[in-house]
Amino acid sequence: MGLTFQLTDQALLGVVYRAKSDINLDGDVNIRNWSLPTATPDLTKTDISWDNPQWLDVGLRYTFREKNTLFLNGGWQDWSEFSDNGIPVSGASANIDTEIDREWDDTWYARIGFAHDLSDQSVYTLGVSYDSSPVNDKHRTFDLPVEEYYKLSAAYAWKGKNRLAYALGATLMMIGDAKIDQTSQGIRAAGKFDQNYSLFAGGTMRYAF
């Protein structure tokens, strides 16, 4: 659900709410190359479920000096809803139901963008954003080592001939080192991942009928 308010001739405010969604997956279990001394477990089915969080997003667009536009955006995501995961596995003679509490917290994010019209035919944009981590170091797990991250973005768009328009853009995503320090069954595992970088680049071509 979304609402848009025209505050002034220069300012536009938008609010978007996305509801929680329940995910349920089921499938077959196939165990190969079992090397432990015990017999291969008789497990054939699994059913995995989790909740994707509700989401509140607020954005402001402000145009000034005709050719310049500023974009401000912030929001909240209810990632604590994702904290409890159920992983039941069943077979002809065995049933295992594992509940994982990941100790996840809600997250927030903030973004700022800028667009400048070079002419009536072209524009460039710049942006930076920050997303907080849903989990602190002592509760982070190896299967989901999520961390806070920053993004830097830039794009250039221009109008071509014959009703065609083009755009090229890229985003650099910088992810934290995801430190881990957890103890399970009396064994402690501590360390951190390498700093991760992801580069997304793409382009579009649009034709107006």
pLDDT in tens, 116-165: 999 989 999 999 999 999 988 888 888 788 889 999 999 999 999 889 99
What value does the mean pLDDT of the chain take?
86
**Residue 189 resides in a domain:** yes
**Residue 40 resides in a domain:** no
**Residue 145 resides in a domain:** yes
- Ranges of residues in the chain whose predicted pLDDT is under 50: none
Count: domains in the chain? 1
CB-facing half-sphere around the CA of 168: CA atoms within 13 A: 0
**Residue 7 resides in a domain:** yes
Looking at residue 101, its pLDDT comes to 77
The pTM of this model reads 0.76
**Residue 130 resides in a domain:** yes
DSSP bridge pairs for 171: 153, 200
Please state, in angstroms and rounded to a whole number, the distance separating the CA atoms of residues 105 and 108: 10
Length of the chain in terms of residues written: 209
CATH of residue 167's domain is 2.40.160.60
Looking at residue 114, its pLDDT comes to 97
**Residue 155 resides in a domain:** yes
Domain encompassing residue 7: 2-21+52-90+102-207
